[in-house]
């Protein structure tokens, strides 16, 4: 799977492909994505509270063999979290698949990943990763297991509930409007036209699915972009940010966030707090599981009050917090919110 912000990925469907579309949830992928958010260069977005709560446990973990395989722009080995074969795979099921990866695939995918980070292959960790594939795979499998137990399993009930809610919502959307509506509204960066699914940004890849179908996988921890997996032997997969991640780590009453909610309203407070990076109305609607018209109405109020400003970026209007909005979210003299 690649992490890039470049040209479009285009997937062309036949009638057989449309019949072979399915949803899946992957605890292993959520674990790999959670590990990625521990990198200093990554923006945790709305996951700042989770990251802050896991800080002590993170201090006991050495995840460098995995984080080195997650370049900012480039290829992350697919065998670390292969697309699920079923709708509700358990973590143990997925870990068993990872542990059974053939040695030649381990070596090839690791070499491809290391090549995307200058100097990575010659670092101490890189040299280990280029070693005997069986030993390397055992180490990576053990780290993924540990990261799951330490970082993700404690919050898995609420993460799983969010992912299952997204699948339920998308299934209702499919029932009401068919595949045309499902794909057209799945995520703001995806476009659907004439049996063709286009990701607005990403790898330059043009593919006929040719009857392989497509796995659709919502993610909580991969919150900021759509990932497309097309390499064999995996079934083609689109991983997209789940709806409603903006409310995943709701603060309890009595916190500054809750006080801001009482002042300007919970929804407007959540939108303001979630604007750690500029975002469009449609992106915010997806993130907070709201109708675009509702978000637009709230943003208008926040803009008129001086809390946000809208700036044109190509054909889009992206909203960001103003100085006043930032002061409301991060009170003067305080340490601020973790991740926002």
Instruction: Express each pLDDT in 205-229 by its tens digit.
Output: 788 999 999 999 999 999 888 999 8
Pick the more confident residue, 261 or 204: 261
Name the region of 265 (left: φ>0; alpha: ψ -120 to 50; beta: rest). Answer: left
| Mean pLDDT (whole number) for 11-33 | 94
- Structural contact between residues 269 and 238, judged by C-beta atoms closer than 8 angstroms: no
Whether residue 335 is predicted with pLDDT greater than 80 in this model: the reply is no
Based on the fold, state whether residues 139 and 258 are members of the same structural domain: no
What is the pTM for the complete model shown? 0.79
pLDDT per residue as tens digits for the range 110-159:
999 999 999 999 999 999 999 999 999 999 999 999 999 999 999 999 99
Based on the fold, state whether residues 46 and 128 are members of the same structural domain: yes
Whether 334 is in a domain gets the answer: no
Average pLDDT, the chain: 86
Based on the fold, state whether residues 101 and 78 are members of the same structural domain: yes
Q: What is the pLDDT of residue 199?
A: 85
**Which of 139-153, 246-260, 285-299, 316-330 shows the lowest per-residue confidence on average (mean pLDDT)?**
246-260
Based on the fold, state whether residues 150 and 49 are members of the same structural domain: yes
Chosen domain end from 212, 245, 278: 245
- Number of Cβ within 10 Å of residue 258's Cβ equals 15
| Mean pLDDT (whole number) for 254-272 | 75
Whether 338 is in a domain gets the answer: no
CATH code assigned at 287: 1.10.10.10
Based on the fold, state whether residues 215 and 271 are members of the same structural domain: no
Instruction: Tokens for 239, please give them.
Output: 């991983």
φ, ψ of residue 223 in degrees (nearest 5): -95, -15
Contacts of 283 (CB under 8 A, 6+ apart): 188
- Number of Cβ within 10 Å of residue 46's Cβ equals 22
Rounded Cα distance, 74 and 91, in Å: 26
Q: What is the pLDDT of residue 251?
A: 62
Instruction: Report which of 142, 141, 139, 115 is spatially closest to residue 126, judged by C-alpha positions.
Output: 115
* Residue 255 confidence class, pLDDT cut points 50, 70, 90: low
pLDDT per residue as tens digits for the range 226-251:
999 888 888 899 999 998 888 888 76
Whether residue 339 is predicted with pLDDT greater than 60 in this model: the reply is no
Q: What is the pLDDT of residue 256?
A: 59
Residue 131 structural domain: 28-156
Q: Which residue has the tokens 């290829």?
A: 75
Chosen domain end from 104, 137, 156: 156
* Residue 202 confidence class, pLDDT cut points 50, 70, 90: low
* Residue 275 confidence class, pLDDT cut points 50, 70, 90: confident
pLDDT per residue as tens digits for the range 161-175:
999 999 999 999 888
Pick the more confident residue, 208 or 72: 208
Chosen domain end from 224, 245, 266: 245
Q: What is the pLDDT of residue 292?
A: 83
- Structural contact between residues 190 and 240, judged by C-beta atoms closer than 8 angstroms: yes
Residue 20, beta-bridge partner list: none
């Amino acid at each position: 799977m690649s992490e890039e912000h470049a040209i479009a990925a285009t997937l062309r469907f036949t009638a057989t492909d449309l019949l072979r579309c399915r949803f899946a949830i992957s605890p292993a992928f959520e674990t790999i994505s959670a590990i990625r958010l521990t990198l200093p260069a990554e923006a945790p977005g709305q996951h700042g509270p989770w990251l802050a709560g896991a800080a002590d446990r993170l201090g006991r973990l050495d995840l460098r063999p995995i984080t080195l395989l997650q370049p900012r722009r480039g290829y992350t080995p697919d065998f670390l979290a292969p697309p699920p074969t079923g709708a509700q795979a358990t973590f143990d099921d997925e870990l068993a698949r990872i542990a059974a990866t053939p040695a030649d695939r381990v070596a090839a995918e690791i070499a491809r990943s290391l090549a995307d980070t200058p100097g990575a292959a010659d670092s101490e960790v890189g040299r280990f990763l280029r070693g005997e594939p069986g030993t390397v795979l055992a180490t990576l499998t053990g780290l993924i297991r540990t990261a799951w137990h330490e970082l993700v399993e404690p919050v898995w009930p609420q993460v799983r509930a969010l992912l299952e809610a997204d699948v339920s919502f998308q299934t209702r959307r499919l029932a009401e409007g068919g595949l045309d509506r499902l794909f057209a509204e799945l995520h703001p960066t995806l476009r659907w036209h004439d049996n063709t699914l286009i990701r607005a940004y990403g790898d330059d890849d043009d593919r006929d699915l040719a009857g392989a179908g497509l796995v659709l996988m919502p993610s909580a921890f991969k919150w900021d972009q759509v990932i497309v997996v097309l390499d064999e032997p995996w079934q083609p997969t689109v991983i997209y940010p789940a709806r409603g991640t903006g409310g995943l780590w709701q603060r309890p009453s009595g916190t500054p966030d809750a006080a801001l909610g009482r002042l300007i309203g919970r929804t407007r407070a959540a939108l303001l707090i979630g604007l750690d990076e500029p975002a469009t109305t449609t992106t915010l609607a997806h993130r907070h599981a709201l109708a675009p018209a509702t978000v637009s109405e709230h943003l208008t109020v926040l803009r008129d009050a001086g809390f946000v400003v809208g700036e044109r970026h190509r054909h889009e209007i992206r909203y960001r917090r103003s100085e006043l909005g930032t002061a409301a979210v991060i009170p003067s003299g305080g340490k601020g919110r973790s991740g926002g």
